[in-house]
């Protein structure tokens, strides 16, 4: 089912597999139409199925990553790339080691640094030097975060060091052996980086995302619901399942 709500395209699918298929098709179309696309990528559990399908399309010769550049949204502070919970490790595992992307075209903010400000400014510069992101893939946190832009009193513009919310730490504890091992800080692209992307693709599945999706679309734009800023972007596609669409479907 497809809806258009205030210019935002919303696809409601009946399963996680169908979300993964649809989102992979959207990313593949971007890659086919512009071979040197700049992609903004997310980690977390939601896009794993999408990455699996993109790898399959690559193996079947349908898409080529040789001219693609990727910028990841975020990385845990002080987690080394070889740490299995790092987002570097995740991206390698699910996508980068399985397709023909060039290592020099992969950008992930480095959490291993004493010059956090320098790393952040350089990341912003690299994104701008690449002409900004063509297609930014996003998940959404239960608290409305996109990237690791947590609810706050203001929108953070560029790449920055974030203090993770208790809710985010709890939600992400499932990827670690214990909640104590979840890093308390991360480096994240800011809202300006995300909003300067030419297209946005946001994915969500499961009932635990239903309330926040309703808030993001129907409440006023506020830094307290970071994803609400997407109401002001002119090219947003949302791909969700029936469970996540529970509170919005009847309002579309
Ligand atoms: C991941 C990221 C986060 C996740 C969000 C949802 O790079 O920036 O915003 O997209 O926390 O995570 P999942 O998909 O695990 O529910």
CA 119 to chain centre: 20
Closest to 99 (Cα-Cα) out of 128, 67, 73: 67
Burial class of 154 by CB neighbour count within 10 A (0 to 12, 13 to 18, 19+): exposed
pLDDT in tens, 42-90: 999 999 999 999 999 999 999 999 999 999 999 999 999 999 999 999 9
- For the segment 201-225, the average pLDDT, to the nearest whole number, is 98
Which residue's CA lies nearest to atom 3 of ligand 1?
147
Pocket test for ligand 1, best of 141, 165, 200, 230 (most atoms within 8 A of CB): 141
**For the chain, percent helix, then strand, then coil, each to nearest 5?**
40, 20, 40
Give the three-class secondary structure for 58. Answer: helix
Task: Considering the candidates 74, 75, 124, 241, report the single residue annotated as catalytic.
Answer: 74
Which residue's CA lies nearest to atom 2 of ligand 1?
147
- Threshold 0.85, pTM exceeds: yes
Task: Considering the candidates 72, 75, 105, 143, report the single residue annotated as catalytic.
Answer: 143
The values of phi and psi at residue 134, to 5°, are -75, -45
Instruction: Check: CB of residue 210 under 8 Å from CB of residue 245.
Output: yes
> How do 69-72 and 38-41 pair as beta strands?
parallel
């Amino acid at each position: 089912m497809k809806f258009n709500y205030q210019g935002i395209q919303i696809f409601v699918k009946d399963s996680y597999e169908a979300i993964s298929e649809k989102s992979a098709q959207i990313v593949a179309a971007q890659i086919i139409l512009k071979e040197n696309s700049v992609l903004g990528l997310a980690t977390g559990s939601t896009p794993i199925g999408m990455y699996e399908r993109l790898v399959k399309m690559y193996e079947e010769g349908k898409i080529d990553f040789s001219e693609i550049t990727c910028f990841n949204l975020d990385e845990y502070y002080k987690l080394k790339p070889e740490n299995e919970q790092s987002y570097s490790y995740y991206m390698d595992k699910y996508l980068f080691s399985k397709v023909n992307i060039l290592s020099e075209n992969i950008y992930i903010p480095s959490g291993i640094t004493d010059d956090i400000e320098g790393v952040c400014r350089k990341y912003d510069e690299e994104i701008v030097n690449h002409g900004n992101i063509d297609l930014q893939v996003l998940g959404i946190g239960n608290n409305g975060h996109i990237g690791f832009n947590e609810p706050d009193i203001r929108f953070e513009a560029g790449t920055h060091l974030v203090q993770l919310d208790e809710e985010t730490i709890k939600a992400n504890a499932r990827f670690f052996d214990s909640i104590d091992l979840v890093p308390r800080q991360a480096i994240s692209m800011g809202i300006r980086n995300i909003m300067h992307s030419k297209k946005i693709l946001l994915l969500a599945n499961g009932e635990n995302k239903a309330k926040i999706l309703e808030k993001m679309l129907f409440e006023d734009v506020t830094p307290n619901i970071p994803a609400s800023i997407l109401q002001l972007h002119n090219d947003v596609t949302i791909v969700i399942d029936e469970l996540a669409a529970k509170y919005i479907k009847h309002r579309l």
